Amino acid sequence: MSWRSEYQPGSFRGVAFRTEGHERSGGRRVATFEFPARDTPLTEDLGRRAREYSVDCHIVGADYRLRRDALLDALEAAGPGLLVHPWHGQIMVVVLDFTQSEDQAGGIATFRISFGEAGQPVAAPAAIPAGQATAIEAAAQHNAAPALFAGRFSIDGAAGFVEAASSRLLAGMVEATQIAAGLQGGAGPALRAFDAGLRYLPANMAALLRAPLNLASATIGMVSALALLGPAPRTRIAGLTRLVDWQPGDPVFPERTPSRTREAENRRTLLWLFHSSAVAELARLAAAAPFASYDDAIALRDAVTTRLDTLAIDAADRGEDAQADAYDRLRRALVRDIATRGSTLARLHTLTLATTEPALVIANRIYGRAGVDGRAADIAARNRIAHPGFVPGAMPLQMLTLEGVGDQVAA
């Protein structure tokens, strides 16, 4: 097989560019020890160095400024991203630095970008740091998704209505994500990165449908950017929950012809990519969310695991056992992480007052003087008391137990 047949268009976080040339550097990490009265040193091999990739590329065309800004936002977004390297394939990388230049002729933006190898999570047989199992499992699912998607999605040689159906479904996914983002709010670099991905998908839909790897990385990037929007973890969790629950309203046609079969397979594959990306981010946020009590932690755990179970059962019913197993691994990781954190959380109990009292008096009687203001506010908020000075008697109140109260962080 010639190198030309293996060549693929370059992109980073789903933003395409034209490559002019590249360099790759690597080597071994060594430690050299020199000893008195000994002429020869001792060199210890510490393993392979992280590879670095330097890419010279450009973006050209009448609309080059829009795509230039999308690439700038992708380069400045936090965390690792998927690089489709024209010569080396798909690599998870971090951006080390870049330079961007233009001249007075206009119409073209030139980049020189240095990427560093991000690597894969290390399988540690001993122990994963407490609370990190879900994040590692979610990252593994994100990394595996583009190749799985590209192996199942295609519009090559299909009837026109097959491409039109995929375009409508993709537009619906973008719209659902945009609505969730509008309800979450957000500002700064996270909002700019999300907006760039949101504009990139509709503007390049026809090209992306013919490049499944780029389409997958762009969709995952859009969902991951949504997970960074919003002022509080619970707001982000609510937005991702909307994506996991989202279903298209387009009619589903019987699979009576090869074209209808391809249309249905593309629909299932696009929905799997969207839902699996959203539920991976949802589980990651849920595992790290702040909890006011053990009961709050269990309620969020059950809400997320119920959705994971539903997705796993649907995948198993379709005969997609590998996908069902991936959802199950994510569910088990989330249960372990929340169980680890929940062991130190206070529980809820019910208290019924004999008479109406202020929340401050109740908090002082139960918890003592330490932190009484925060506990009084928690009593009023948790029980939806209209005025904290008048907590009604004969009303069952949800209260935190005394143990661990001082260690809690309000959600």
Residue 252 has pLDDT above 60, yes or no: yes
**Which domain CATH number covers 111?**
2.40.30.200
For residue 193, being part of any structural domain is answered with yes
Residues 141 and 101 in one domain: no
- Average per-residue pLDDT for the chain: 81
For residue 108, being part of any structural domain is answered with yes
| Residue 305: per-residue pLDDT | 92
Q: Give the pLDDT band (50/70/90) at residue 404.
A: very low
Q: Of 127-141, 253-267, 276-290, which gets the smallest average pLDDT?
A: 127-141
Nearest to 203 by CA among 67, 38, 29: 67
Residues 74 and 151 in one domain: no
| Residue 220: per-residue pLDDT | 87
Average pLDDT over residues 90-113: 88
Residues 272 and 194 in one domain: yes
Residue 2 has pLDDT above 70, yes or no: no
Q: What is the Cα 184 distance to its own chain's centre?
A: 15
Residues 187 and 293 in one domain: yes
For residue 124, being part of any structural domain is answered with no
Beta bridge mates, 398: 350
Beta bridge mates, 21: 56
Number of structural domains the chain divides into:
3
Average pLDDT over residues 101-117: 89
Residues 106 and 137 in one domain: no
Q: Of 129 and 37, which is predicted with more confidence?
A: 37
Which of 259, 278, 308 terminates a domain? The answer is 308
| Residue 345: per-residue pLDDT | 66
- Quickly tell me which residue has 């097989």 as its tokens: 1
Residues 157 and 105 in one domain: no
Following DSSP, what letter does each residue of 358-405 receive, concatenated? -HHHHHHHHH-STTHHHHHHHHHHHTT-S-TT-B-TT-EEEEE-STTG
Please list, in sequence order, all residues whose beta carbon lies within 8 angstroms of the beta carbon of residue 231, skipping any fewer than 6 positions away.
185, 186
Percentage of the chain lying above the pLDDT 70 cut: 84
Residues 213 and 137 in one domain: yes
Torsion of CA 203, 87, 144, 152, to 10 degrees: 60
Q: Give the pLDDT band (50/70/90) at residue 272.
A: very high
Residues 142 and 253 in one domain: yes
For 283-328, the pLDDT digits (tens) are 988 888 887 777 788 888 899 999 999 999 998 988 888 889 999 9
Residues 103 and 162 in one domain: no
For residue 40, being part of any structural domain is answered with yes
Q: Give the pLDDT band (50/70/90) at residue 20.
A: confident
Q: Of 140 and 382, which is predicted with more confidence?
A: 140
Residues 162 and 260 in one domain: yes
| Residue 320: per-residue pLDDT | 86
Name, of 174-183, 303-312, 350-359, the range with top average pLDDT.
Answer: 303-312
Q: Give the pLDDT band (50/70/90) at residue 409.
A: very low
Residue 275 has pLDDT above 90, yes or no: yes
For residue 287, being part of any structural domain is answered with yes
| Residue 392: per-residue pLDDT | 78
Nearest to 262 by CA among 166, 355, 177: 166
Residue 111 has pLDDT above 90, yes or no: yes
Residues 138 and 285 in one domain: yes
Handedness of CA 327, 281, 226, 51 (dihedral sign): negative
Nearest to 351 by CA among 373, 375, 369, 386: 375
For residue 332, being part of any structural domain is answered with no
Percentage of the chain lying above the pLDDT 90 cut: 16
Single pTM value for the model: 0.58
Give the separation between CA 62 and CA 106, rounded to whole angstroms: 9
Residues 280 and 370 in one domain: no
Average pLDDT over residues 100-111: 88
Average pLDDT over residues 370-377: 64
For residue 326, being part of any structural domain is answered with no
Length of the chain: 411
Residue 378 has pLDDT above 70, yes or no: yes
| Residue 339: per-residue pLDDT | 83
Q: Contact 290/410 with Cβ under 8 angstroms? A: yes
Structural domain harbouring 238: 133-308
